[in-house]
Amino acid sequence: MNYIYLGVGDLYLPSVAAAVHLKKIDEYLPPDSAKLFTIECFRHGEKCDEGALHYIDSDEHGNKVFVSCAKGQLDVFVRAVQSLLGVYRIPVKDIKVIPCEPENPQAVGICKALRSLGLWQAESALASKLAYNCFSSLVKKVERPTD
């Protein structure tokens, strides 16, 4: 099975969700800023990242975990993938797209604004705060197959 964690505008939240899935961070303990920036792909999203799939690793069951991002409309992506599976007659369980949207989507825009102003440290601080605050909801979103 393939899991794709899909973020809005950046890869911060999907990369944290992927790290929880792969047990690279403790799901019971929200990571601090230093730990967050060691997570693979914990960064802002570039234009080339929109719709692109970044392979992170495989979990203990051999399921592949990817992250991606889009500028918005995540429901369109989810439905498009479900449709694609139907078109190719591929079982639904072969791929799962999990949206990782923040509760306050304005934070994504603020991160982008800080970055465009060259305030990298402020952007990093906000991204860490966002990931920390959303951590419990991300843990709930993480999907793992049952044995």
Partner 1 sequence: MAGKKIIYHCYGGAHSSVVAAAIHLGQLRVDKVPASKELMALTLFDKQTKEGHGRLHFFGFDEYGDEVYSVGCRNVGYSVTKFLTKIKEILNAGDEMIFIDTLHCVNLKMRIGGYISRRLGMVKIGRPIVLRGTREAYFELVKLVQQVKEGSFA
Q: Which is nearer to partner 1, 81 or 125 (CB)?
A: 81
Considering the rule CB under 8 A, would residue 53 count as an interface residue with partner 1? yes
| Window 76-115: residues binding partner 1 (CB under 8 A) | 76-84, 86-88, 90, 94-95
- Measured at the CA of 50, the angle between CA 42 and CA 120, to 5 degrees, comes to 40
Buried b (16+ CB within 10 A) or exposed e, 114-124: bbeeeeeeebb
Residues in the chain: 147
Integer Cα distance of 42 and 21 in angstroms = 15
Q: Which of 50, 92, 129, 143 binds partner 1 (CB under 8 A)?
A: 50
Instruction: Dihedral sign for Cα 86, 88, 89, 91, please.
Output: negative
Considering the rule CB under 8 A, would residue 62 count as an interface residue with partner 1? no
Considering the rule CB under 8 A, would residue 119 count as an interface residue with partner 1? no
109 token code pair: 């825009």
Considering the rule CB under 8 A, would residue 58 count as an interface residue with partner 1? no
Considering the rule CB under 8 A, would residue 51 count as an interface residue with partner 1? yes
Considering the rule CB under 8 A, would residue 43 count as an interface residue with partner 1? no
Integer Cα distance of 10 and 59 in angstroms = 23
Count the alpha carbons within 13 Å of 86 in the hemisphere toward its beta carbon.
6
Q: How near is the Cβ of 87 to partner 1 at its closest, in Å?
A: 6
Considering the rule CB under 8 A, would residue 72 count as an interface residue with partner 1? yes
Considering the rule CB under 8 A, would residue 68 count as an interface residue with partner 1? yes
Site residues, partner 1 (CB under 8 A): 2, 4, 50-53, 64, 66, 68, 70-73, 75-84, 86-88, 90, 94-95
